[in-house]
Structure 1
Amino acid sequence: MEQTEKKILLIDDDSRNIFALTAILKSRGFIVFSAASAQEGIEMLLQNKSIKAVLMDMMMPEMDGYEAIEYIRNKEEIAHIPIIAVTAQAMVGDKEKCLQAGANDYISKPIDVDALLQVLANY
């Protein structure tokens, strides 16, 4: 994967999650952009066409990950970007709910770094 292909947008309302994931991904050669809300993340996607994938927290105030995914999938210029749902909800059916909402993949918190890297390698 070329450097330009390793740009990821992390959308999460918890700054601790952003800090930890950014550190891990940067150490693996990714360029990480972050947004503290879904609205901010959508604006970043619309402005930065070089972002190749989104890690989307599903449980956020105002606009949650499900609403954000639906918005992104209905916006032609960004609808193609892979979205990986990241959530603490790991109950039966949660993965299917995220995929049905339009996420390309799903990973549960606490995040297994190796599993995350494997998922990202698919995109």
Structure 2
Amino acid sequence: MKKKILIVDDDPRNIFALKLTLKSRGYQIESCISAQVAINTLKEQEIDIVLMDMMMPEMDGYEAIKIIRSTPGINEVPVIAVTAQAMPEDRQKCLDVGAQDYISKPVDVDMLMIAIEKLS
């Protein structure tokens, strides 16, 4: 059984593209456009991996990952940070708040698949 992946991004076009790519590889996909909905989804469903956009209005990915890491029951769910910020310090900042991996936008599908398979 392939993993269930939660895509969190405030841009529906990004969700659409990632969903198509991952579904074609057999993954089950859930998606949402806000970090708060993502946290609620994690509490309600069994999610194997989260793809978290880091730059979102209201609550950004950094804050969301901190909340996920400090919430019993969902604190072990692997998170891959997905961001347009591609400087080396951005990668470190994502890892420092608790992301397992980091992918920059535009998403390189091969890099994404490697990151997902490492966590599977």
TM-score range, shorter chain: over 0.9
Query: 1:31 maps to which residue?
Result: 28
Cα distance in 1 between the residues matched to 2:65 and 2:31: 16
Alpha-carbon shift at residue 41 of structure 1 (Å): 0.6
2:47 match: secondary structure: coil
Cα distance in 1 between the residues matched to 2:103 and 2:26: 20
The 5-angstrom pairing of residues 22-61 of structure 1 reads: 22-48=19-45, 50-61=46-57
- The yes-or-no answer on 1:19 pairing with 2:49 is no
Cα distance in 1 between the residues matched to 2:73 and 2:94: 21
1:10 match: secondary structure: strand
Alpha-carbon shift at residue 91 of structure 1 (Å): 1.3
Q: Following TM superposition, where does structure 1 have runs of at least 4 consecutive aligned residues deviating by more than 6 angstroms?
A: none
Question: Structure 1 stretches of 5 or more lacking a match?
Answer: none
Identity %: 58
Aligned residues: 119
- Normalising by structure 2, what TM-score? 0.97
2:80 match: secondary structure: strand
Question: Structure 2 stretches of 5 or more lacking a match?
Answer: none
Q: Deviations over 1:61-113 (max 9, x none)?
A: 00000000000000010000000000000013110000001101000001000
1:106 aligned to 99, 102, 106, which one? 102
Cα distance in 1 between the residues matched to 2:88 and 2:116: 23
Which amino acid in the other structure matches residue 70 of structure 2?
A: N
Cα distance in 1 between the residues matched to 2:70 and 2:97: 12
Query: 1:72 maps to which residue?
Result: 68
RMSD: 0.6
Query: 2:111 maps to which residue?
Result: 115
Which amino acid in the other structure matches residue 12 of structure 1?
A: D
Cα distance in 1 between the residues matched to 2:88 and 2:77: 26
Which amino acid in the other structure matches residue 12 of structure 2?
A: S
- Normalising by structure 1, what TM-score? 0.95
Cα distance in 1 between the residues matched to 2:34 and 2:110: 26
